[in-house]
Amino acid sequence: EGFVLPAAIDRHVGVALRLRRDARIALRSDRYQASVEFDALPTRRQGNWADYVIGVTREIDQRYDPGPGFDAFVASDIPVGSGLSSSGALDVANAVAMLAARGIEMPAVETARLCQAAENGFVGAHTGIMDPFTALTARGGNAILLDCRSMRDEHVPLPDGRFAWLLADSRVRHELALTAYNERRRECEAAATVLGLPSLRDAREADLPRI
């Protein structure tokens, strides 16, 4: 529920999607040779990249009537596991493609919440709203000052010409659902509970000795 200041970079995920007349699902990616296919929308995690597509689709089905099967192809130039939110971008790309295919209009904030729910629920990563919201609303040359409690946002121009932004791929794999991220999240929630606060956002420096 705190404040964040994210910005987008010049990397993308695209999803080409078409609905089927049956319940079958066929997924392909330019990252992997083998396709992933199901007779119907799975109810359990598969342990691979398809979980992000499945999770978002399940969230849409829960909010509306269950949809038909579909074919989807994913193309991406975002390094996987590098901390650049490739999973969040995939969530958003699939959500936008699926909503458009089914003729559903959804505000950006609600789409971001849907993607967050897919990560928190089906995928099992207790992520926040920042990544999907940024993927949906970012503008070139700007960062986004986002209040994750009220969801008020403001585009903040980045310095132009005076600074160069450098992202280095350390090759250390990063996957929130399989790391200590969820544990850190639980520890922060427990600390807020000890302090009697809804969020650590509300804590003051004087509260630190009580944790």
Q: In sequence order, what DSSP letters do the residues of 101-134 get, joined into one string?
A: HTT----HHHHHHHHHHHIIIII-----SHHHHH
Phi, psi of 72 (to 5 degrees): -140, 140
Q: What does the alpha-carbon distance between residue 16 and residue 58 come to, in Å, rounded to a whole number? A: 18
HSE, CB side, 13 Å, CA atoms: give it for residue 79.
Answer: 13
Q: Which two tokens stand for residue 172?
A: 């250390």
> Are both 190 and 142 inside the same structural domain?
no
Q: Is residue 165 part of a domain?
A: no
Q: Which of 10, 131, 160, 207 is catalytic?
A: 131
pLDDT at residue 207 in the model: 87
Q: Is residue 166 part of a domain?
A: no
pLDDT at residue 82 in the model: 78
Total H helices, total E strands in the chain? 5, 7
- Per the structure, the complete domain to which residue 69 belongs is given by 3-157
Q: What does the alpha-carbon distance between residue 30 and residue 17 come to, in Å, rounded to a whole number? A: 14
Q: Which two tokens stand for residue 47?
A: 């342990």
Pairing of strands 13-19, 153-157: unpaired
pLDDT at residue 96 in the model: 98
Domain total of the chain: 2
Q: Is residue 140 part of a domain?
A: yes
> Are both 24 and 97 inside the same structural domain?
yes
Phi, psi of 17 (to 5 degrees): -135, 140
pLDDT at residue 133 in the model: 97
- The model's pTM is 0.84
Q: Is residue 109 part of a domain?
A: yes
pLDDT at residue 184 in the model: 86
> Are both 107 and 199 inside the same structural domain?
no
Q: Among 121, 122, 88, which Cα is nearest to 9's?
A: 88
Q: Is residue 163 part of a domain?
A: no
pLDDT at residue 177 in the model: 59
Question: Residue 148 sits in a domain of what CATH number?
Answer: 3.30.230.10
Q: Is residue 184 part of a domain?
A: yes
> Are both 147 and 186 inside the same structural domain?
no
Burial of 85 per CB tally in 10 Å (0-12, 13-18, 19+): buried
> Are both 52 and 127 inside the same structural domain?
yes
The tokens 């804590």 sit on which residue?
A: 203
pLDDT at residue 94 in the model: 98
Q: Which two tokens stand for residue 124?
A: 């099992």
Final residue belonging to a domain, choices 142, 157, 172 = 157
HEC sequence for 158-197: CCCCCCCCCCCCCCCCCCHHHCCHHHHHHHHHHHHHHHCC
> Are both 121 and 46 inside the same structural domain?
yes
Q: Is residue 172 part of a domain?
A: no
- Tell me the pLDDT of the chain (211 aa) as tens digits: 889 999 999 899 999 999 999 999 999 999 988 899 999 999 999 999 999 999 999 999 999 999 999 999 999 998 887 788 899 999 999 999 999 999 999 999 999 999 999 999 999 988 999 999 999 999 988 999 999 999 999 999 988 777 777 888 777 776 665 567 778 888 988 999 999 998 888 888 888 888 8
Q: What does the alpha-carbon distance between residue 129 and residue 149 come to, in Å, rounded to a whole number? A: 10
> Are both 193 and 94 inside the same structural domain?
no
> Are both 191 and 140 inside the same structural domain?
no
> Are both 189 and 110 inside the same structural domain?
no
> Are both 110 and 190 inside the same structural domain?
no
pLDDT at residue 63 in the model: 96
Are residues 133 and 112 in contact, defined by beta-carbon separation less than 8 angstroms?
A: yes
> Are both 201 and 153 inside the same structural domain?
no
For the chain, give the longest Cα–Cα distance.
61
160 in active site: no
> Are both 130 and 184 inside the same structural domain?
no
